[in-house]
Structure 1
Amino acid sequence: MRWLITGGCGFIGVNVVETIRKNDPTSYIRIVDNLSSGSEAMLSRVCEFTKPTGSLSTPAGECHLYIENITRADVAYSICKGIDVVIHLAASTGVPVSVECPRTDLESNVIGTFNYLEGARCGGAKVFIFASTSASSGGYNPPFHEKLFPRPIAPYGASKCAGEAYCHVYHEAYGLNTVALRFSNIYGPHSINKKAQLVTNFITGMMEGRVLQIFGDGTQTRDYCYVGDLMDAIMAAIDKSEQIGGNVIQIATNVETTVKQVSDLIFDALDYYGNISEVNIEYVNERPGDLQRNYSDVSKAKELLGWSNKVPIDEGIEETVLWYLKNYKVS
């Protein structure tokens, strides 16, 4: 199998590479990343790689990294050649960033996605997995599900919604087996560079003794899914892509957890394993565009993928804390 992973040096991308390597060490992996949030150091934790400068090739068992921006159409056309599966993770992520810079969000998440759909179509790829978000649904009371008419409340949700639409078009018009997976709040190992993410921010902040902020009163909820469960969902979507092409599927746990509960779980694990017995949290104003409640119905994932999460949040937080205690150096 020949894989292309956009955003392959980031949190989820590194986990994908690790999963592919464990499942099939002879696979060829090609990675495109501009290193805006990921890093070569993160990728080197899970595989050896080179940065070729000559013509493209697909040698079995090797991993090639190309430091490029997904907004470049010419790069997308060439980089998709000879690839079987495209996993499109690269994006401008997060609601606050999209509110501040909506044009950047559009260029990365709409134009960037279009570029790699076109690259996959022209290059002969068989499968295209698109990383979307429940923020595409927008202003509804949860649980979110795929039948809701999209009405996003922030540019991030709007741009991901556009990506989902293009994926559906490329399946219907061109026969590309596209699957859009709406990731919930993913957490777990290799997330060091995701400092804006709650779990990462609170684990590293408590280890460093920083003052941590909770936006609002801490009762806002999210649906937290462990990254290992997400890997199972991605691989199931690839395996079943011929049967489910063109679909949008929520990948979540159907469990609502408050920010305060997550904070307490992190503190308890660090207290037990890391001898950290004090934490300083301040409550500040809510951020524009943030939802008060967010969790998803995963019935469609069970039906089409045969998938449901296996790792409850207390176990997932414990595993993540243990990974950080082993791999994160407090400066």
Structure 2
Amino acid sequence: MRPSGQRTLVTGGAGFLGSHLCEALIRRGDQVLCVDNFHTGTRDTIAPLLEHPRFELLQHDVTVPLDVEVDRIFNLACPASPVHYQHDPVRTTRTCVLGAMNLLALAERRRARILQASTSEVYGDPEVHPQPEHYWGRVNPTGLRSCYNEGKRCAETLFFDYHRQYGLEIKVVRIFNTYGPRMYVDDGRVVSNFITQALRGDPVTVYGDGSQTRSFCYVDDLIDGLLAAMDSPAAFTGPVNIGNPDELSMRALAERVLRLSGSSSRIVHQPLPPDDPKVRRPDIALARKNLGWQPRVPLDEGLAKTIAYFRALLNA
């Protein structure tokens, strides 16, 4: 159950997901403290909230300890796209690990419930498909993606150790590919790449032969999943997958974006990046059972909204 009038901390609150989460929390009556160092987040994403009486912005890096009065904590602080997290891999690992330690220490002092936004990247290039939460993954610990994959895995370890050692109320959510308005043009994610290339009339870049698969969850559904996880009974800690189980190939996604955008761009192929997973699809049976959650927005509907957002952004 969710207490009324609570003060909720959202780290990474000026990012793509964080800004949507802050809006949802304001809508349901929370006092929201948004913390961001603006390494990848921007004030533009939270501009509509800046004058709201129940919204507060604090510029702060989670690798530095923080002491504030809060009832609940959502930890979304970390670059999430390969372009961003590989740009400064040491900083990425520090954000994942030191950030988790500092926020867990804060939660322990305040006896606050805390949610870790983990990632499907903890499964690596999986040998089990779709990926259930009990699968331990197949991760390269020394590759280009390791700063993010292993950083998030270590953060999960810290969360469960705090739960066992200090009785802290934790929630761990493994987020699968999410898309929607407020994604960044240059973040290197496949949906934003395909849409911006298509709208600009540039060649749409598909890596490898395009047969590798992903599944895509619209941002509104993802936020509903985060809230459901945070509000679930204390006994349910997770980890729990939140994502859309509908799977398609990268080639099929590119063709769909071209159709929905009305673009005449052509598809070109480039070499597959190192450690790029061949398949990625969540098993969401646990979320359905324990959270009563499943995605509702069809891919074409979500892509159409995202294309409209990027079209307005590029035209501006």
Note whether the superposition's TM-score is higher than 0.5. Answer: yes
2:247, 2:165 → 1: CA distance? 38
| Aligned-pair CA distance for 1:281 | 3.2
Say how many residue pairs are matched: 305
d(CA) in 1 for partners of 2:51 and 2:35? 12
State the alpha-carbon separation in 2 of the partners of residues 233 and 291 from structure 1.
Answer: 24
- Aligned equivalents of 1:176, 1:241: Cα separation in 2: 13
1:252 maps to: 243
Report the Cα offset of residue 192 of structure 1.
3.0
Report how far residue 291 of structure 1 moved.
0.5
Q: Distance in 1 between matches of 2:233 and 2:196?
A: 37
Equivalent residues in 2 for 1:1-331, closer than 5 Å: 1-24=6-29, 27-44=30-47, 46-49=48-51, 61-73=53-65, 76=66, 78=67, 81-95=68-82, 101-125=88-112, 127-141=113-127, 142-153=129-140, 154-155=145-146, 156-192=148-184, 195-245=187-237, 247-271=238-262, 277-325=263-311, 327-330=312-315
User: What root-mean-square deviation, in Å, do the aligned CA atoms of Structure 1 and Structure 2 show?
Assistant: 2.0
| Contact preservation (8 Å) 1:255, 1:295 | yes
* Contact in 1 for aligned 2:126/2:137 (Cα 8 Å): no
1:140-172: CA deviation from partner (whole Å, max 9, x where unpaired): 232111111244224121111111111111222
- Does the C-alpha gap of structure 1 residues 9 and 241 become closer, same or farther in structure 2, counting only changes over 3 Å? farther
Contact 2:63 2:94 in 1 (8 A): yes
Q: Distance in 2 between matches of 1:199 and 1:99?
A: 18
Distance in structure 1 (CA, Å) of the matches to 2:69 and 2:83: 37
What letter matches 1:17 in structure 2? C
Higher deviation after alignment, 254-263 or 178-187: 254-263
Residues 193 and 112 (structure 1 numbering): CA distance in 2 closer, same or farther, change over 3 Å? farther
CA-to-partner distance for each residue in 1:101-143, whole Å, 9 max, x for gaps? 5422211111111111112211332x21111111112242321
Q: TM-score, normalised by structure 2?
A: 0.90
**Separation (CA, whole Å) in 1 of partners of 2:274 and 2:168:** 37
Structure 2 letter corresponding to 1:48: L
Deviation at 1:217, TM superposition (A): 1.4
Cα deviation digits, residues 214-271 of structure 1 (max 9, x gap): 21111111121111111111111121142313x2001122222111222122222211
Give the unaligned 5+ runs of structure 2: 1-5
**Superposed displacement of residue 95, structure 1:** 4.5
Match of 1:55 in 2: none
- TM-score, normalised on structure 1? 0.86
Looking at structure 1, the residues matched to 208 and 15 of structure 2 have their Cα atoms a distance apart, in angstroms, of 28
Distance 1:129 1:49, change over 3 A: farther
Q: Distance in 2 between matches of 1:66 and 1:211?
A: 40
Q: Distance in 2 between matches of 1:116 and 1:191?
A: 26
- Runs of at least 4 residues of structure 1 off by over 4 A? 95-101
Structure 1, unpaired ranges of 5+: 51-60, 272-276
Name the SS for the 1:210 alignment partner.
Answer: coil
The residue type paired with residue 258 of structure 2 is F
Aligned identity (percent) is 28
